[in-house]
Structure 1
């Protein structure tokens, strides 16, 4: 059987160490049996047919701008069944002017009160989903993303924001025929190495992949 194919495109604001994170995700997904391509330019989104044949696309591009053709190709691919998955600013704060992208993701970064050293507890909100099944609540010290979110998302993990509101940390949703997974953690690579975070991210990316539909969940 042909391997699942994943495309990671990395770049944008360098503070999130996009290349290091992309290579980390590449290793993890390769270990799961995927064939992974890492692109350093948004030109990879100009090949419409290739995107449609890709099982999973992982944006890892904080801020920046995306061209109309690239955005159209990406959204159409997801609508046709290509999976979309990502984390932190690489997907939740990418392309601030592209509201169509934000709609597809299901949320958009607004602020991170307290900076990058906020101690908070991540609660597993949905223990019945295959991404979070068996995971326990855990603590992190990092940025706490305050986000505007789509009410249609299915929240998998959450925390308590500075104003006392429940704030989603990880979620899934559908966009056309495609599955979408997002996790707001990942300000530094060390956060991604936390066992619960790594498990949730790897499971989420496998779930979002086009072939994830063939597996349980």
Structure 2
């Protein structure tokens, strides 16, 4: 029996400044090269279709802000807890700000980008031999630097530093997770805060981290 291709479901939309459609197409191409069958939706209504969510091996919410209904939240969180994977980047952790269950599942929530929206900083890989980052090495980016609230149980794959205080929020130097993975019930979660714009997603280091994270998070 020939094994079927895995199925990925991308949900894109919200704030147009994050270029959700363009980034969704980049992610879809990346997944198709890994032999996924990919569907892209530009409406949150898909989260009302529990059976459709359950058919997916991987769900990628590329949405900024927005709101989920209680039913949609339950459909999504229970689908992931049952074994479907979830992966995302950048705005994935700036979605559904009033839905604490979603934030807990992702493992973090965007708060601000102190220092401005375009800063240069180093991304450090504290466990360079981890399979999700091995061979990539530290690198420098010029883009948004996310300051976040994070779940202390996440497994940090990459971090950056806020070295200069930016009152009132950042009052001392801070090491901030940039990418992580975690478990949510039987589902796997991968998140990378990089990806404010398509050129950042297409950076070799970022795209390789994301490729590995997408494959890792998908249903086993």
TM-score, normalised on structure 2?
0.93
| Structure-1 residue corresponding to 2:158 | 157
Asked if 1:143 is matched to 2:160, the reply is no
| Structure-2 residue corresponding to 1:109 | 110
Given candidates 63, 84, 87, the residue that maps to 1:85 is 87
| Structure-1 residue corresponding to 2:23 | 21
| Structure-2 residue corresponding to 1:215 | none
Give ranges in structure 1 of 5+ residues lacking alignment.
Answer: 212-217
C-alpha distance in 1 between matches for 2:179 and 2:59: 17
1:133 is paired with a residue whose SS is coil
| Structure-2 residue corresponding to 1:175 | 184
| Structure-2 residue corresponding to 1:12 | 14
Per the TM alignment, residue 116 of structure 1 is displaced from its structure 2 partner at its CA by 2.3
Count residues in correspondence: 210
1:124 is paired with a residue whose SS is coil
Q: Give yes or no for contact 1:173–1:180 (8 Å, CA) kept in 2.
A: yes
C-alpha distance in 2 between matches for 1:7 and 1:126: 30
TM-score, normalised on structure 1?
0.94
| Structure-2 residue corresponding to 1:195 | 204
Give ranges in structure 2 of 5+ residues lacking alignment.
Answer: 166-172
Per the TM alignment, residue 31 of structure 1 is displaced from its structure 2 partner at its CA by 1.1
1:108 is paired with a residue whose SS is strand
Q: Give yes or no for contact 1:114–1:143 (8 Å, CA) kept in 2.
A: no
Residues 11-68 of structure 1, C-alpha deviation per residue, up to 9 Å, x if partnerless? 1111101011101111111111110000011111112122122100000010011111
Based on CA coordinates, which of the two structures has the bigger radius of gyration? 2
Return 202-211 or 46-55, whichever deviates more.
Answer: 46-55
C-alpha distance in 2 between matches for 1:173 and 1:74: 16
Moved over 3 A (4+): none
Q: Give yes or no for contact 1:116–1:141 (8 Å, CA) kept in 2.
A: no
| Structure-1 residue corresponding to 2:170 | none
